[in-house]
Amino acid sequence: MMKINPGPHLKKIQYPAQLREIAEEDLVKVTSELRQYIIDTVSVYGGHFGASLGVIELTVALHYAFNTPSDQIVWDVGHQAYGHKILTGRRDRFHTNRLYKGLSGFPKRSESEYDAFGVGHSSTSISAALGMAVASQLKGENDKQHIAVIGDGALTGGMAFEGLNHAGVANANIIVVLNDNCMSIDPNVGALKEYLTDITTSPTYNKFKADVWKALDKLSKLGQVSQDIISKVHDTLKGGLLRHSNLFEALGFRYFGPVDGHDVNHLVKIFNDLKRIPGPKLLHCITVKGKGFAPAEKDQTKWHAPGLFDKVTGEIYKSASGGAQPPKYQDVFGNTLVELAQNNKKIVGVTPAMPSGSSMNIMMKAMPDRAFDVGIAEQHAVTFSAGLATQGMVPFCNIYSTFMQRAYDQVVHDVALQNLHVVFCMDRAGLAGADGPTHHGMLDIPYMRCVPNMVVSAPMNEEELRNLMYTASLDKNAGPFSIRYPRGNGVLIDWKRPFAELEIGKGRKLSEGDDIAILSFGTAGNLAAVAVRNLAKENVSAAHYDMRFVKPIDEAILHEVFRKYRHVITIEDGTVVGGFGSAVLEFMADHHYHADVVRMGMPDKITEHGEQNELYAECGFDAKSIQAKVKSVLGIKIS
């Protein structure tokens, strides 16, 4: 283990109370030591990077000016909260960040009382902080502060606006800190981004803001001014602000800024001022993602989560495994989509803010008019796709399994009920790894399986993914079609092999056997195939079926299996509750078969974070465990 040494000021700070003992003139030193500590640690232990560097000054200023943990800070998404973790009792464990059994990469209530709200998915902070603020109001805790720190990317999510809309009339004590760095993971998109740039650069607006600041400055010099005076000043200013049509003011917020989000002393002063102003307030801070580490400032997308790197040269290390690597599933998706779209003008691509993560950027580059990044807006992505489909387009809407949860009603109400031809490609299905429970794609098999009209499929390897995408694009298969695949890569494939149309609802038998049948769905089939080969060496004869589809499920195979076998094992890379195994059990019950069915998959509990293989091992999801399960089912002594 490599020891990371904190600088002399940071060394003195275990908790924010100690930070508050530091003289204001030394805060800049604290920020540079904190920044260095993150660079030192993330370069050798990995994790998110640029976002935390961009909010160092904000983090220090917030904990300095506010009385945390009594005052509550909600970090939106939470990938930028490393500085917060280090300042709130977790510096000595920070090297375990995102590692198995170590600190979570995101704020988590069970980890620290300073983590006011568990996060991972974006755009929740305003609603959560507002809930806290209203609760404080109801409890008569009127001095308590509630702060949502939200990025300009996260602000593109509809929920953020739902929160703003409510907060603007709730009259509760909430401060929204808008961390505007013009970036999501990829460059931020949409009209809101343009608007934020406009109010940052408009000379008339800024002249007016300067007047506002002068007035506020006077107020703060008065010390404890009465709410009455503040309200009067506010009302006078508000008219002017509205004349300059400020979106946030129009929504009932008091808007302050834009300010330099890297001037820690100025930020402290502003936060101390804002504390005295009741009601909803928004502070617009301009920051630079990756601030203080030149390569990260330069290529902000690459340095969102770069992996391990040399902190001196900025070289990002390649993964150790040599030789030709099989392509990642996401890249197979991206390249295949372009190939399909070249031959079919109706195909378009839709991603909610994940061009790099899903490899939709391949199509965005090749066919910029036909691929859309719609912002962090999964619900919109699905209904936008539905709209496209009503006009005969064939949208491939790519959303990580975990983020699709957001858009469930749109999947049901806007797509499935109207039987529209939208292809849902769900990346990161299964255990996501170091991002942990907020990002695991555990639930999509059950939640897609119960939707009428929906085809639910999963490829066993990359070649099957190509064929499923091709099949899903065909007019004769018009209707909602979902394809799930995991993070990472599988096998080397021959890109030149022509597409093969797969029959919907048909699985395939991969090996014959007498003692037991193993039914797999998706990439779990690769583990099953290894297990079957190993079992054969021990004279255990297992049949293996790759089902490909959970809905419609291959009834011919299931009749064959239940007629022939007393013992059946199902395996899927998702929760065992309501998933593929459950579909098999339902079939068995509906057709009055009787067999011993064992379901393998993810247990009905929260699986934490760690390397994917560590987590799969913990869940007993590997070839060895399948072999052991087969033997125990057959009553064979396990050697």
CA distance 37 to 44: 11
Q: With respect to ligand TPP, which residue has the nearer C-beta, 14 or 200?
A: 200
CB of 435 to ligand TPP, least distance (A): 9
Q: With respect to ligand TPP, which residue has the nearer C-beta, 287 or 582?
A: 287
In the window 398-457, what residues touch ligand TPP (CB under 6 A)? 403, 406
HSE-CB of 501 using CA atoms within 13 angstroms: 7
Binding string, residues 126-155; x marks residues near ligand TPP by CB under 6 A: -------------------------xxxx-
- The size of the interface with ligand TPP (CB under 6 A), counted in residues, is 22
**Is residue 392 exposed (0-12), middle (13-18) or buried (19+ Cβ within 10 Å)?**
exposed
Max Cα distance, the chain (Å): 87
Active-site option among 289, 328, 487, 551: 289
CB of 94 to ligand TPP, least distance (A): 19
CB of 28 to ligand TPP, least distance (A): 21
Active-site option among 249, 378, 462, 572: 378
Is 355 a residue that touches ligand TPP (CB under 6 A)? no
CA distance 212 to 237: 7
Name the β-bridge partners of 348: 395
CB of 104 to ligand TPP, least distance (A): 14
CA distance 76 to 457: 33
Q: Is position 449 annotated as part of the catalytic site? A: no
In the window 102-121, what residues touch ligand TPP (CB under 6 A)? 121
**570: CB partners within 8 A, 6+ apart:** 518, 519, 520, 521, 580, 581, 584, 597, 598, 599, 600, 601
Nearest to 538 by CA among 419, 427, 630: 630
Residue 462, classed as helix, strand or coil, is helix
Active-site option among 406, 449, 466, 548: 406
CA distance 74 to 78: 8
Nearest to 113 by CA among 69, 73, 157: 69
CA distance 629 to 377: 42
Is 375 a residue that touches ligand TPP (CB under 6 A)? no
Is 181 a residue that touches ligand TPP (CB under 6 A)? yes
CA distance 425 to 441: 13
CA distance 585 to 390: 36
Q: With respect to ligand TPP, which residue has the nearer C-beta, 193 or 466?
A: 193
Cα–Cα distances (Å) from 271 to 144, 264, 277, 278, in that order, read 13, 10, 10, 13
Is 36 a residue that touches ligand TPP (CB under 6 A)? no
CA distance 601 to 521: 10
Is 184 a residue that touches ligand TPP (CB under 6 A)? yes
CA distance 16 to 21: 9
Q: Is position 289 annotated as part of the catalytic site? A: yes
CB of 413 to ligand TPP, least distance (A): 19
CB of 74 to ligand TPP, least distance (A): 13
**Residue among 38, 60, 147, 353 that touches ligand TPP (CB under 6 A):** 353
**Residue among 30, 34, 42, 51 that touches ligand TPP (CB under 6 A):** 51
Residue range at the interface with ligand TPP (CB under 6 A); choices 182-190, 254-262, 423-431, 478-486 = 182-190
Q: Is position 487 annotated as part of the catalytic site? A: no
Residue range at the interface with ligand TPP (CB under 6 A); choices 179-187, 221-229, 584-592, 619-627 = 179-187
CA distance 49 to 314: 12
CA distance 30 to 18: 12
CA distance 486 to 525: 13
DSSP labels, 227-289? HHHHHHHHHHHHHHHHHTT-HHHHTTPEEEEEEETT-HHHHHHHHHHHHTS-S-EEEEEE--T
Q: With respect to ligand TPP, which residue has the nearer C-beta, 608 or 618?
A: 608
Q: With respect to ligand TPP, which residue has the nearer C-beta, 119 or 241?
A: 119
Extract the tokens encoding 302. 């690459």
Extract the tokens encoding 102. 């170590």
Q: With respect to ligand TPP, which residue has the nearer C-beta, 279 or 433?
A: 433
**Residue among 16, 46, 47, 54 that touches ligand TPP (CB under 6 A):** 54
Q: With respect to ligand TPP, which residue has the nearer C-beta, 136 or 300?
A: 300
Q: With respect to ligand TPP, which residue has the nearer C-beta, 403 or 470?
A: 403
**Residue among 13, 81, 176, 183 that touches ligand TPP (CB under 6 A):** 183
CB of 21 to ligand TPP, least distance (A): 29
CB of 356 to ligand TPP, least distance (A): 10
Q: With respect to ligand TPP, which residue has the nearer C-beta, 80 or 145?
A: 80
In the window 59-88, what residues touch ligand TPP (CB under 6 A)? 77, 79-80
Query: What positions carry a catalytic annotation?
Result: 289, 378, 406
| Positions that interact with ligand TPP (CB under 6 A) | 51, 54, 77, 79-80, 121-122, 151-154, 179, 181, 183-185, 289, 353, 376, 378, 403, 406
